[in-house]
Amino acid sequence: MDLELTGKIALVTGASSGIGAATARVLAEEGADVVVSYGRNEAGARRTIEAVTAAGRRAWLRQMNVTDPTHISQAMAALKNDVDGLDVLVLCAGQNIITPFEHVTPDEWNQVIAVNLNGPFYVLQAAIPLLRDGGSVVTVASVAAHTGVPQHAHYAAAKAGLINLTKSAARLLGPRVRVNCVAPGLVLGTPMGDYTATTMAPDYAQKRLLTQRFGTPDEVARCIVFVASPVAGFMTGATIDINGGRELR
């Protein structure tokens, strides 16, 4: 299927590893040029740049700490020198800290909320003037937003807030720009997914998922890119669950 992304310009936060890196690569494979945004992992972001250019598309590297609104405004202003607008914005940067509910410190709480909830808000707010008519935004939440998780309640709460933020943004920006959320279940092969998996029983997927296996970064990336694409033009304010049927078993 042609996702009608040829020649479009996308920005992906959290593109230095995992799902964000896979999303940047899939966007390029579908014909988009990609601004590869990262926090600390410049080497990873450069690998993503190589993947985008290997797909024959243009790529720009942008360091952007999503917890710092001043830094984000400066990065967005500088971006205007390279691109005259954005068709796709994927807000994938995230962080989890696994700490039992009763032991979460104020610093841990603030850090996880800062990256997973404040970050998408600051980046989206700063990007609004750049978003082109017909464009779209995809936020990346988690199944944890629906279920709650006592081992990382701060992360689950931040992602639940992000789902709601997605709806506010969709209402603000419609009909000009669509805003949707993709909420994955556990995805292995990313630093965060592999870290989270250490807290789960070895037979978790077998017992709790209809797929009886966890997800891959590519599967989630393809879902994000479909939702971001003009082909999903009637979809906005939605949350798309991609979790192996987690809630059904």
Hey, which residues are catalytic here?
A: 155
21 or 86: CB nearest ligand NAP: 21
103 CB-near residues (< 8 Å, 6+ apart): none
8-state DSSP, 215: B
Q: Which stretch binds ligand NAP (CB under 6 A): 54-62, 101-109, 192-200, 205-213?
A: 192-200
C-alpha 47/C-alpha 230 separation (Å) is 27
Among 26, 163, 187, 205, binds ligand NAP (CB under 6 A): 187
Q: Can you tell me whether residue 139 is helix, strand or coil?
A: strand
Q: Is 17 in the site for ligand NAP (CB under 6 A)?
A: yes
User: Does residue 180 belong to the site contacting ligand NAP (CB under 6 A)?
Assistant: no
Task: State residue 196 phi and psi, 5-degree precision.
Answer: -65, -35
Q: Does 121 bind ligand NAP (CB under 6 A)?
A: no
State the nearest-atom distance from the C-beta of 179 to ligand NAP, in Å.
Answer: 16
Question: Per-residue contact track with ligand NAP, 36 to 65, x per CB under 6 A?
Answer: --xxxx----------------------xx
The three-state secondary structure class of 61 is: strand
Q: Among 200, 102, 193, which Cα is nearest to 154's?
A: 102
Q: Judged by CB under 6 A, which of 5, 34, 115, 138 binds ligand NAP?
A: 115
Find the distance separating the first CA and the last CA of the chain, reported in whole Å. 32
Is the CB of residue 138 less than 8 Å from the CB of residue 96? no
Establish if 244 lies at the interface with ligand NAP (CB under 6 A).
no
Query: Which x/- pattern, by CB under 6 A, does the window 150-169 give for ligand NAP?
Result: --------------------
**CB 71 within 8 Å of CB 118:** no
Q: Is residue 140 within the footprint of ligand NAP (CB under 6 A)?
A: yes
H helix or E strand, kind and range, residue 158: helix 153-173
Q: Looking at beta carbons only, is 136 or 190 nearer to ligand NAP?
A: 190
Cα distances from 67 to residues 64, 113, 215, in angstroms, run 9, 9, 28
Q: Which of 196, 227, 229, 244 binds ligand NAP (CB under 6 A)?
A: 196
Query: Footprint of ligand NAP on this chain (CB under 6 A)?
Result: 13-14, 16-20, 38-41, 64-67, 92-95, 115, 140, 142, 184, 186-187, 190-193, 196
